[in-house]
């Protein structure tokens, strides 16, 4: 049994429990993460963010003194990256006095990420490279979900890597999909699971999406998912991406964010930024019982 002092925050209603672990002594077990994220028996969240120095993360090879975002899905599994989580994490560091500047670099399992708290209290994050690639069976991967009438429907989804895996499918019927169940894909594809996004294109600068996040279920927003969707939409529409950033608004059930896409070097990777709100809504203390 131990106490955790925490904050609760969200980015476009993708919500998180956040806490500080200065000494690296609170590496929670999956069952403890599930307890904290439980919406009836715990605090309730889509995921958990532990603020810990990089030197306490075995696989981190960067600055040992950097604040590292140790991210866990609601089911207790480790995830490489979370775009909404990064924004909430930076807001937490700043409002908790753990950083004093409005620009900060943090560590994640997808690499270092640079963030800026903007004057309007949104947070802009450099999301690093975005890579569209092929599945094992071809350029796209079939993703199957049920619609509201419990009829199976299948789309060819574009695999996208944003430091974590995504599969982006395009349809005008995103409102009728039943995302209470995990989408299905062929055996062998996405062995670590995948975040599945379903997208409606309004125009070349504006899309809407819903998402089923691995380890969580349907969420009201997924930051890395919005980046994957913007990149896949730009490719689908044949948009030219050069050194000047092209911005795409992505609507999610929890609000809207702006994804910036650029290719600083003509033969280099596609790079992305993500800008959107991040709020802390309350702080508290909770006792984690003996769950063994």
H or E stretch at 95: helix 83-95
Identify whether 37 is a catalytic site residue.
no
Q: How many CA atoms lie within 13 A of 259 on its CB side?
A: 35
Which residue in the block uniquely carries the two structure tokens 């620009």?
Answer: 103
- Is 284 known to sit in a ligand binding site? no
**Is 223 a known ligand-binding residue?**
yes
> Which one is catalytic: 4, 18, 81, 82?
82
Confirm or deny that 100 is annotated as ligand binding.
no
Strands (E), 74-161: 103-108, 111-117, 122-132, 141-147, 152-161
Instruction: Write down the catalytic residue from 17, 222, 229, 231.
Output: 222
Tokens of 42: 């715990």
213 known ligand binder: yes
Query: Is 203 known to sit in a ligand binding site?
Result: no
226 labelled binding-site residue: no
Q: Which residue has the tokens 């709100």?
A: 277
CA-CA distance, 102 to 37, in Å (whole number)?
Answer: 29
Give the helix/strand (H/E) hosting 263.
none
Environment class of 16 (CB within 10 Å of its CB; exposed 0-12, middle 13-18, buried 19+): buried
Q: Is 84 annotated as a binding residue?
A: yes
- Let me know the angle formed at the C-alpha of 261 by 260 and 267, rounded to the nearest 5 degrees: 155
214 is in an annotated binding site: yes
Per the annotation, does 224 bind a ligand? yes
Helix (H, G, I), strand (E, B) or coil at 218: strand
Q: Is 83 annotated as a binding residue?
A: yes
Catalytically active residues, by annotation: 82, 222
Binding-site residues from annotation: 14, 73, 83-84, 164, 195, 213-214, 223-224
Binding-site residues from annotation for substrate: 14, 73, 83-84, 164, 195, 213-214, 223-224
């Amino acid at each position: 049994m131990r106490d955790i002092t925490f904050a609760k925050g969200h980015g476009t209603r993708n919500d998180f429990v956040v806490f500080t672990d200065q000494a690296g002594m609170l590496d929670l077990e999956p069952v403890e993460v599930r307890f904290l994220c439980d919406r009836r028996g715990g605090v309730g969240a889509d995921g958990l963010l532990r603020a810990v120095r990089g030197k306490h993360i075995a696989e981190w090879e960067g600055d040992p003194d950097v604040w590292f975002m140790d991210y866990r899905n609601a089911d207790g599994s480790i995830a490489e990256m979370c775009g909404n989580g990064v924004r909430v994490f930076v807001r937490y560091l700043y409002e908790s006095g753990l950083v004093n500047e409005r620009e900060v670099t943090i560590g994640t399992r997808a690499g270092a990420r640079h963030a800026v708290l903007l004057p309007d209290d949104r947070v802009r994050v450099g999301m690093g490279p975005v890579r569209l690639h092929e599945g094992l069976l071809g350029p796209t991967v079939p993703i199957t979900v049920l619609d509201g009438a419990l009829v199976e429907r299948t789309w060819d989804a574009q695999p996208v890597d944003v430091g974590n895996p995504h599969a982006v499918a395009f349809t005008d019927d995103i409102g009728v999909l039943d995302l209470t169940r995990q989408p299905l894909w062929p055996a062998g594809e996405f062995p670590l699971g995948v975040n599945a996004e379903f997208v409606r294109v309004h125009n070349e600068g504006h899309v809407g999406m819903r998402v089923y996040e691995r380890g969580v279920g349907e969420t009201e927003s997924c930051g890395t998912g919005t980046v994957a969707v913007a990149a896949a939409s730009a490719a689908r529409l044949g948009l030219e991406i050069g050194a000047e950033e092209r911005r795409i608004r992505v609507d999610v059930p929890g609000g809207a964010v702006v994804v910036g896409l650029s290719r600083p070097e003509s033969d280099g990777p596609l790079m992305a930024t993500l800008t959107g709100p991040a709020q802390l809504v309350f702080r508290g203390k909770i006792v984690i019982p003996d769950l063994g």
